[in-house]
Chain A
Amino acid sequence: MVHYQARLDTTFAALSDVTRRGVLEQLGGSEASITDLAQRFHMTLTGMKKHVSILEQAGLVVTEKVGRVRTCKLGPRRLEEEAAWIEQHRQLWSARFDALDELVEHLKYKEKADAQRKRK
């Protein structure tokens, strides 16, 4: 459990940045070198290395150095666990609030009907 929580934290930290989310999307299409990524996201090599390193620590990206080029690709860690927990909560609350919505509609019409009856 503790291990799982620590991983979630690292993942959320990694995903909290718009560039890093963009990098993941990019790598979802194809592998790329740090240089490619830096160019695509209009930043310095050093800046991109930092982003990639954070994604790497979270296990979302793996890199491999061949010669002078460091290639990045999506890591073995999937986003599914993280997506799953927010989705579970969304489903629970959606189901609850859909039921509440129906009840509230019913109460609203009941109140209207009662008010009309009183007026007659």
Chain B
Amino acid sequence: MPNAKESSPAATNRTVVERKSDHELLVTRTFDAPAHIVFEAWSKPELFKLWWVPKSAGMSLLSCDMDVRTGGTYRLVFSHPAFDQPMAFFGTYKEVTPHKRMVWTNQESDQGAVTTVTFEENAGKTLVTLHELYPTEAALDEALAGSAEGLPEQFAQLDELLAGRS
């Protein structure tokens, strides 16, 4: 992977993305910090919005409301120069176990995935495993083939950026 920051820990902790089955996508990465810190970055909206939208995407996060507890809801609204209207992503936290596990639904479409994130701490490092379970194979293909989450521009820009760096 092209990486501008050779000396940072990010250069050694690789993000692994796999299609686990017809319905599932799996993303894993180890972070050099205890689980409570990594979990904080996922569960506090003011921190979450600092990393969830890649800077290169040209997207802006207009609002980020997250009530991170079991049964709570979230709503993220994005804008992009290519969209006429802002796009909203929303759903419910089915389970939140602090520092260990979060499960949320994606309810903006009836083909939305259920996302499970687990945090496993070992010797001061935390393995984050993100698992997306789609209701049908077609829904996963759609998300992948049509550029995930309906954000084609995001990837195009990211591609350009990464190509420029390599």
Q: Are A105 and B9 in contact (CB under 8 A)?
A: yes
Using known A-B contacts A1-B146, A101-B8, A101-B10, determine if residue A108 contacts B155 with beta carbons closer than 8 Å: no
B62 contacts the other chain (CB 8 A): no
Q: Which of A1-27 contact B (CB under 8 A)?
A: 1-2, 4-5, 8-9, 12
When chains A and B are docked, how far (Å) is the Cα of A56 from the Cα of B32? 46
A86 contacts the other chain (CB 8 A): yes
When chains A and B are docked, how far (Å) is the Cα of A56 from the Cα of B142? 24
Shortest distance in angstroms between A13's beta carbon and chain B's nearest beta carbon?
A: 10
Q: Are A8 and B141 in contact (CB under 8 A)?
A: yes
Which chain A positions have C-beta within 8 A of B159?
88, 91
Q: Mark B51-65, 1 if CB is under 8 A from A, else 0.
A: 110111000000000
Which chain B positions have C-beta within 8 A of A111?
37
Give the contacting residue for B51; candidates A81, A90, A92, A99; CB below 8 A.
Answer: A99
Q: Are A96 and B50 in contact (CB under 8 A)?
A: no
Q: Are A95 and B56 in contact (CB under 8 A)?
A: yes
Q: Are B15 and A107 in contact (CB under 8 A)?
A: no
A89 nearest in chain B by CB position: B17
B144 contacts the other chain (CB 8 A): yes
A100 contacts the other chain (CB 8 A): yes
Q: Are B33 and A104 in contact (CB under 8 A)?
A: yes
Q: Are A103 and B17 in contact (CB under 8 A)?
A: no
Using known A-B contacts A88-B155, A95-B56, A102-B10, determine if residue A107 contacts B33 with beta carbons closer than 8 Å: yes
23 A–B contact pairs at CB < 8 A?
A1-B142, A8-B145, A9-B22, A86-B19, A88-B148, A88-B158, A89-B144, A90-B17, A92-B155, A92-B158, A95-B56, A97-B29, A97-B51, A97-B128, A99-B55, A101-B9, A101-B13, A101-B29, A102-B8, A104-B33, A104-B37, A107-B37, A111-B37
Residues of B within 8 A of A (CB): 1, 3, 5, 8-10, 13, 15, 17, 19, 22, 25, 27, 29, 31-34, 37-38, 40-41, 47, 50-52, 54-56, 128, 130, 137-138, 141-142, 144-148, 154-155, 158-159, 162
